[in-house]
């Protein structure tokens, strides 16, 4: 029997002033919104190359916006629940597991050059049972990916969200839950002007 797998992408509508606010302080709100849109399109492009994995975008938006966003980005779309980041991620995982998914990974739209191999590896580890939890640690102390075979509630509470402690605290929570953990290679997100310059340099180097 084929395992049902899903990639969840947390996203916002790229409206000026509402996305990439730290970066907007350097490049302006219009440019930051355009960049966010481009980054999200890149992440969706990567996700469409996954085989046997459903991609679902969870939007931080009002319910009536979903049809328009689904059409614009050509994606399966659901609405994020309310609460802090942990509560919203927990609700998204619970929703997908309740729908029959057996392996779920969640990412954001901040890593537009994330290698497809990282996503493939996460689902391989979850599917073959060698890991119950997969983390993709980020260079800033957070994580760019969390993968689960089933819910671990402690991963979503008592975490210092939006700080350099997120990955360390989350890893400890997974280990204390006696779960098999697999770590992907460290990667990068784009939140600041320095991050943007680093992304541009990586893309130049890859040409």
Chain segment 6-42, per-residue pLDDT in tens: 999 999 999 999 999 999 999 999 999 999 999 999 9
What per-residue confidence (pLDDT) applies to 207? 76
What per-residue confidence (pLDDT) applies to 178? 79
181: region left, alpha or beta (phi > 0 left; psi from -120 to 50 alpha): beta
- Three-state SS for 184? coil
- Three-state SS for 139? coil
What per-residue confidence (pLDDT) applies to 206? 81
Q: Which residues pair with 183 in a beta bridge?
A: 135
Mean pLDDT of 168-195: 95
Q: pLDDT-based confidence at 2, cuts 50/70/90? A: confident
Q: Which residues pair with 146 in a beta bridge?
A: 106, 135
Give the number of residues written for the chain: 207
Mean pLDDT of 93-98: 97
3-state DSSP: the chain helix, strand, coil percent, rounded to 5?
Answer: 45, 20, 35
- % the chain with pLDDT above 70: 100
Domain locations along the chain? 5-206
Q: pLDDT-based confidence at 123, cuts 50/70/90? A: very high
Mean pLDDT of 101-121: 97
What per-residue confidence (pLDDT) applies to 86? 97
Mean pLDDT of 165-184: 95
Question: What does the mean pLDDT of the chain come to?
Answer: 95
Q: Which residues pair with 8 in a beta bridge?
A: 56, 106
User: Does 56 have pLDDT greater than 90?
Assistant: yes
Q: Which residues contact 164 (CB under 8 A, 6 or more apart)?
A: 140, 141, 142
Of all helices (H) and strands (E), which one includes residue 59? strand 53-59
Architecture of the domain whose range is 5-206 = Alpha-Beta Complex (3.90)
Q: pLDDT-based confidence at 179, cuts 50/70/90? A: confident
């Amino acid at each position: 029997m084929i395992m049902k797998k899903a990639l969840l992408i947390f996203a916002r509508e790229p409206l000026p002033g509402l996305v990439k606010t730290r970066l907007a302080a350097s490049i302006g709100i219009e440019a930051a919104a355009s960049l966010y849109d481009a980054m999200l399109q890149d992440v969706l492009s990567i996700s469409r190359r996954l085989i046997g994995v459903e991609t679902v975008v969870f939007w931080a938006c009002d319910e009536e916006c979903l049809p328009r966003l689904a059409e614009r980005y050509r994606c399966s779309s659901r609405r994020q629940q309310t609460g802090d980041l942990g509560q919203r991620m927990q609700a998204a995982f619970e929703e997908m597991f309740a729908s029959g998914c057996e392996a779920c990974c969640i990412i954001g739209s901040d890593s537009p050059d994330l290698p497809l191999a990282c996503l493939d590896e996460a689902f391989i580890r979850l599917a073959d049972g060698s890991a119950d939890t997969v983390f993709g640690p980020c260079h800033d102390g957070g994580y760019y990916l969390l993968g689960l075979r089933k819910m671990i509630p402690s991963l979503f509470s008592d975490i210092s969200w939006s700080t350099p402690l997120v990955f360390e605290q989350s890893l400890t929570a997974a280990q204390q839950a006696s779960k098999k953990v697999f770590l992907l290679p460290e990667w990068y997100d784009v939140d600041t002007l320095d991050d943007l310059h680093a992304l541009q340099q990586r893309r130049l180097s890859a040409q």
